């Protein structure tokens, strides 16, 4: 564990879009966006995710607990409360936390047999 906090309390991601289908067996080949959250601090942290859209009001906050000195990976596809994040709809996210965290979004696109994996480190704001 680090002696000084690493990360930021607010992160923005602007290029979300979950494909509606994939190739291969599920769940390992389900197309998805996935939040990867590092809490390197000495206390548990609760991240709040708000999802923004082009043509409707934001949705959230989705709450994600990240234990102290741990990493947590959560599929955006699995965020269902207060409502499911829709597939094939462009979205953006803001992730906030009372403690410094590091956040990335990992995207797995399995619509073709040649899989695509991308990582977005987002913007600390």
From residue 29, alpha-carbon distances to 15, 37, 90, 111, 114 in Å are: 21, 22, 21, 9, 12
From residue 98, alpha-carbon distances to 15, 42, 66, 84, 116 in Å are: 24, 13, 12, 24, 33
CATH of 8-124, one of 2.60.290.11, 1.10.540.10, 3.30.450.20, 3.55.50.30: 2.60.290.11
From residue 39, alpha-carbon distances to 7, 12, 82, 111, 120 in Å are: 8, 17, 24, 32, 18
pLDDT in tens, 62-93: 999 999 999 999 988 899 999 999 988 999 99
What CA–CA distance (Å, rounded) separates 87 from 82? 16
For position 25, what pLDDT does the model report?
62
Closest CA to 101 of 60, 50, 46, 51: 46
Residue 112 pLDDT exceeds 90 = no
């Amino acid at each position: 564990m680090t002696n000084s906090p690493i990360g930021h309390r607010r992160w923005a991601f602007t290029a979300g879009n979950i494909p509606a289908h994939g190739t291969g067996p599920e769940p390992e080949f389900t197309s998805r966006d996935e939040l990867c959250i590092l809490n390197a601090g000495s206390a548990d942290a609760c991240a709040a995710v708000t999802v923004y859209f082009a043509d409707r009001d934001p949705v959230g906050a989705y709450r994600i607990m990240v234990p102290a000195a741990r990493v947590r990976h959560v599929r955006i596809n699995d965020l269902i409360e207060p409502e499911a994040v829709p597939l094939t709809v462009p979205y953006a996210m803001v992730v906030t936390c009372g403690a410094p965290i590091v956040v990335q979004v990992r995207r797995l696109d399995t619509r073709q047999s040649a899989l695509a994996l991308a990582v977005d480190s987002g913007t600390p704001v």
